[in-house]
Amino acid sequence: MEGLTLDGYGGLIFLGAITTLLVALAATVIGSIIGVLMAAAKLSPSAVLRHIAGAYTTTIRGVPDLLVIFLIYYGGSSTLSRVLGRPVEINAFSAGAVSLGLVFGAYATEIFRGAILEVPRGQFEAAAALGLSGVRQFVHVVAPQAWRLAIPAFGNQLTVLLKETALVSLVGLEDLMRRTGFAVEATNRPFFFYLIAGVLYFVLSYAMTNAFGTARRKTQTALAR
């Protein structure tokens, strides 16, 4: 049974899992906001906004996620220091949340854009006929229907994001992966502790997948009623 004990590192790994969830949550919020704004820009009649949104999604999706993290962590600190005229250091959590939020936002943009385009055109016309403003049309009519359509792809992308948080450990974030590394170095039991980390990632991903599956079923049930 000695080989199955955590040698006192259970609490450390648990805190790492909490950090992983927090950075994923922060990145989701940032990415979702970016996704909504960029989706609106892509569907805008303004050619300038469409080109800006297109350049953003093409660029972010065309480079490695790790490169985005390095650019935000190292480049962000350097840029802010020059702008403010004093040394500024972006911590690993902020860099991870912003960089993964930028990456998530690029994919969320296409998810939201596709979902909005799938909303029947008659819904827009009916909302306009009721005299609703553009913003109220989107908030009360389009967004709820688009969200229902976006749930499956959004949930899948969120699962990908959760696993990508492991990359932020390379800039010092003490997440699940990095704290597991501490346990491995101290105990020289890499297979066991990395297996534990893998199980935790699987459990978190599985729980997230089930949560979005439940949300999708509930929206379909509500729609059927």
pLDDT reading at 119 higher than 90: no
pLDDT: which is higher, 34 or 84: 34
pLDDT score, position 171: 92
Amino acid at 42: K
- Number of neighbours of residue 120 by Cβ within 10 angstroms: 9
- CB-based contact 66:166 (threshold 8 Å): no
Residue with the larger pLDDT of the pair 145 and 158: 158
Ordered domains of the chain (ranges, CATH): 12-224 (1.10.3720.10)
**Does the pLDDT value for residue 137 go beyond 60?**
yes
Rounded to whole angstroms, the Cα distance separating 30 from 24 reads 10
Q: Which position has the higher pLDDT, 101 or 137?
A: 101
The SS3 call for residue 8 is coil
The residue with tokens 């599985």 is 206
Rounded percentage of the chain residues whose pLDDT exceeds 90: 64
Gap between the Cα atoms of 174 and 184, Å rounded:
14
Q: Scan for tokens 């009360």, then name that residue.
A: 140
Residues 42 and 89: their CA atoms lie apart, in Å, by 34
- pLDDT value at 199 more than 70: yes
Query: Residue 75 in 3-state DSSP?
Result: helix
Q: Within 13 Å, how many C-alpha atoms sit on residue 4's CB side? A: 1
**Is pLDDT at 197 greater than 80 in this prediction?**
yes
The alpha-carbon radius of gyration of the chain (Å, integer) is 21
**Among candidate residues 38, 173, 171, 55, the one with its CA nearest the CA of residue 109:** 38
Quote the crossing angle between the two packed helices 10-42 and 47-62, to the nearest 10°: 150
pLDDT value of residue 140: 73
* pLDDT reported for residue 225: 53
| pLDDT tens digit sequence for 62-109 | 999 999 999 999 988 888 888 888 888 889 999 999 999 999 999 999
217/225 Cα distance (integer angstroms): 12
Give the tokens for residue 73. Answer: 């962590």
221 falls in which pLDDT band (50, 70, 90)? Answer: low
| Single pTM value for the model | 0.89
